[in-house]
Structure 1
Amino acid sequence: EHYKTHSGSKPTTIKEKKSNTNTVKNAIDSKVLISKITHTYLQNIINEWAKSHSIGHVQSLVIVIRSVFKYAFKYHDLHDISVLDKIDIPKKAKTRNELQAKRNNYLEDSEVKELLQCFDYLIKHKRHATRKRNYEMVKALVEFQINNGMRIGELLAIKTDNVDVENKTLEIDGTINWVTDTETGAFGVKETTKTSKSYRTIGLTTQSINLLKKLTLRNKKENQWNTKFIDRG
């Protein structure tokens, strides 16, 4: 609760922190007083986490531990938090598969072409009208994302007033948080970008402008035909 009140973090970050906090709580015996926790006790827990989690996730869990000790030091007169200086996160050498996965973390032009051709095949051979429209929408989204290097949350958060068709620019000023909007009932609420540096304006090609027009038109039609459709703007 203290973190939610004072951190200024977005709901997605708070949700992640809550999950990490539950992991830490489950790992530490509830009968053990914080003043009695030793660095050896904590290190054994961290070592176990390191066996099954990524270094990044373990770091997030250790941050929770450090935050709890510092909170107790500041507000509950815990006098000694030197255990924090004695714990560390085991480093693991990257496997061949991990290195290969990092190198392959993008699509070659031939793979992009194959992916779009798969969408064309599905669109052509699907008889169900709704599924055909869905594939058309997803293809346009994927194509736009590939052309402009956007996070999927940023792409889905685009509103019509973010697009300047005349000057061929797009203002990226938010991302989607997947929670229900209490005002509209829509699933997905637009929030600020992941970081301040993510807020940006990019130039658009004629192809990207046409893709956005296609998506906008499709949303307008869906809004007319589908009573369950909720337009987020």
Structure 2
Amino acid sequence: MRINEDYLLGYYTVKDKNGNKRTYQSYRDPLTDEVKKMGVGWKRKKIKSERQALIYLRKEIETKVKNRIYDDGIVVETFGELIDIWYATWSSGVRQTTINTQMQLLERYILPFFPRELPVSKLGHLYVEISWAKILGLKAKRTQMPLEKATLEKIRSLLRQITYYGYKRGFVFFDLQMVDMKIPTDRGIQASIRRKKKFLDNSEVEMLLAAIKEKYKTHFIGPKMGELYYDLVEFMVRNGLRISEVGALTVDKIDFENRILTIDEGLVSAGRSVKDYQLNPTKTIASTRDLDLDDRSIEILRNRIDCNQKRRAEMKQRRNGELVATYYRNYGERKPYQKKVRDSKSYRETDYLFQTQNGNPVVYHSFNEFMNGQGSNPKPVKCVKNILKEKYPSFRKHITTHTFRYTHVSLLAEAGVPIKAIMERVGHSDVKTTLEIYNQVTKASKEKVILEVSSWEFTPE
């Protein structure tokens, strides 16, 4: 099937300051009736004329539309068929990470109660209300606690999005948004309590850093990358970055003269092997930002660069057969002997600032193994969590990479920094996100005030 020429609208070609040309073709999506456009750079595709660019674009548009278009006379009989049609329209306009998240919600929470074979004719008010009550009875896999408000809101939103698509096109005969799908009030309280446990105060940050130091001192012999995770934790506390943003940092993003760090990418690693890690634009437009750096953050970045350069030099020596190390035999008098250190097949030279000894960027699962002992290592290894339990029994919080982002916001809020300034620094696009943390800190501060007042003693002479 060839695309109907009526779908094609205007086109134009632009030239940037370097003389590179790019052609754009507008078209009307026959399935959604939205006006969209597609562009192509001449240099990238070795295009030499506007006509050649338009031929390329029209073929691409034709392929895209052909893969998604459906006959006007289609009949949707099951919920699965409705999902397929909705997905074809929706998926082309969102990021792959969003698709993955939504499909996980669909598989885990919606399809068990709205199976693919369910006739759409049965999607009535009573069926939905009964199914929603069953979803409210589910428990989170890790905590075995009832699902929190944020998760339930996402499930409800996705279910409504799919069914409303069918309602608009006459596949579903009522608007699911009119169905009463309430979320119990206590689910929000539960989330509020959990958020309060997410951020650390000054003393807790000090305990955590001391425990990390202890792990390096006691359980690592000559760590090749310096105290990588110590640097990582302190840097994240000081700057409030997401772990995906830290993972994407490279040397060229630092302006040492003006003490600014550019945040314009995020590393996608969830469920992927190292070779499939991917750099994406930041989570939102607000997340793309220039971050002012303090003295200690500059020092940490310089230390990371130095560690990476030393590791790179070491691996070059190994590759050339120039690195010799002293070893000891495990028997007899343990006499020392020297041997060339073999090259590492797993090492790759990269520009990542926070990188492991193999040159790979630091990601949340490698951090969790170091911090909480979660990982594929078959041997039990003492983690930071164990050290905290032994040396600082008052430390009761579970640490994740997002803890430090919450901590950064909470420490700034506690210091009285305006909400707008905090939002810009951490890249929040919605003030609600910042306010949730801000309000938690305010409540904690009020508790400190009462404790302080309660400690006052006025004894008359």
TMscore range, shorter length:
0.7 to 0.9
Q: CA deviation at 1:83?
A: 3.8
Contact in 1 for aligned 2:238/2:297 (Cα 8 Å): yes
- The residue type paired with residue 118 of structure 2 is V
SS in 2 for 1:201: strand
Query: Does structure 2 conserve the Cα–Cα contact (< 8 Å) formed by 1:122 and 1:135?
Result: no
Separation of aligned partners in 2, 1:61 and 1:95: 15
- Structure 2 counterparts to residues 208-223 of structure 1, below 5 A: 208-223=297-312
Residue 126 (structure 2) aligns with: 40
- Is the Cα–Cα contact under 8 Å of residues 244 and 267 in structure 2 kept in the other structure? yes
Q: Once the two structures are superposed, what CA deviation does each residue of 1:86-135 show, in whole Å capped at 9, x if it has no partner?
A: 23132232587654433333111111111111122222223444xx3467
1:4 alignment partner in structure 2? 91
Q: CA deviation at 1:72?
A: 2.3
Q: In 2, Cα distance between the equivalents of 1:16 and 1:116?
A: 33
1:58 is aligned to 2:152: yes
Match for residue 137 of structure 1? 228
1:111 matched to 2:204? The reply is yes
Separation in structure 2 between the aligned mates of residue 151 and residue 136 of structure 1, nearest angstrom: 20
1:191 aligns with one of 264, 280, 288: 280
| Cα distance in 1, alignment partners of residues 270 and 191 from structure 2 | 32
Q: What is the identity, as a one-letter code, of the residue corresponding to 1:173?
A: D
CA distance in 1, matches of 2:114, 2:189: 34
Determine helix, strand or coil for the equivalent of 1:142.
Answer: helix
Which is further off, 12-21 or 45-54?
45-54
Q: Tell which structure's C-alpha radius of gyration is larger.
A: 2
Q: Quick one: which of 173, 178, 184 aligns to 1:80?
A: 173
Aligned to 1:21: 106
Look up the match of 2:347. 229
% of aligned pairs identical?
20
Measured in 1, the distance between the counterparts of 2:113 and 2:218 equals 51
C-alpha spacing 1:214/1:71, structure 2 compared with 1 (3 Å): same
Q: Does structure 2 conserve the Cα–Cα contact (< 8 Å) formed by 1:47 and 1:89? A: no
Question: Could you tell me the TM-score, scaled by structure 1's length?
Answer: 0.84
User: How far apart are residue 209 of structure 1 and its match?
Assistant: 0.9
Root mean square deviation, CA, Å? 2.6
Give the direction of change, closer, same or farther, for the CA distance of 1:127–1:28 in structure 2 (3 Å limit). closer
Opposite residue 229 of structure 1, the aligned amino acid is: Y
Query: What is the alpha-carbon distance in structure 2 between the residues aligned to residue 195 and residue 144 of structure 1?
Result: 22
Distance 2:261 2:271 in 1: 26
Number of aligned positions between the proteins:
226
Q: Aligned to 2:243, which of 141, 152, 155?
A: 152
State which drifts further: 28-37 or 197-206: 28-37
Contact 2:149-2:188 at 8 Å conserved across structures? no
Task: Give how far 1:173 is off.
Answer: 0.9
**Which range moves more in the overlay, 77-86 or 152-161?**
77-86
> 1:47–1:90: 8 Å Cα contact kept in structure 2?
no
One-letter code aligned to 1:59: E
Distance 2:204 2:181 in 1: 41
Alpha-carbon shift at residue 79 of structure 1 (Å) = 5.5
Instruction: Kindly indicate whether the alpha-carbon contact (under 8 Å) linking 1:4 and 1:14 is maintained by their aligned counterparts in 2.
Output: yes
**What amino acid does structure 2 have at the position aligned with 1:121?**
E
Checking the alignment, whether the CA contact within 8 Å between 1:43 and 1:87 is kept in structure 2 is yes
**In 2: Cα distance, 1:48 partner to 1:135 partner:** 51
Q: State the distance in 1 between where 2:160 and 2:187 align.
A: 26
Shift of 1:38: 1.1
Distance 1:50 1:134 in 2: 47
Contact 1:222–1:229 at 8 Å: present in 2 too? no
Residues 166-181 of structure 1 aligned to structure 2 (within 5 Å): 166-178=257-269
**TM-score if structure 2 supplies the norm length?**
0.45
**8 A contact 1:154–1:176 mirrored in 2:** yes
Contact residue 174 and residue 192 of structure 1 kept, 8 A: yes
1:207–1:63 CA distance, 2 compared to 1 (3 A): same
**Structure 1 unaligned runs (5+)?**
none
Q: What is the CA–CA distance in structure 1 between the aligned matches of 2:220 and 2:118, rounded to whole Å?
A: 62
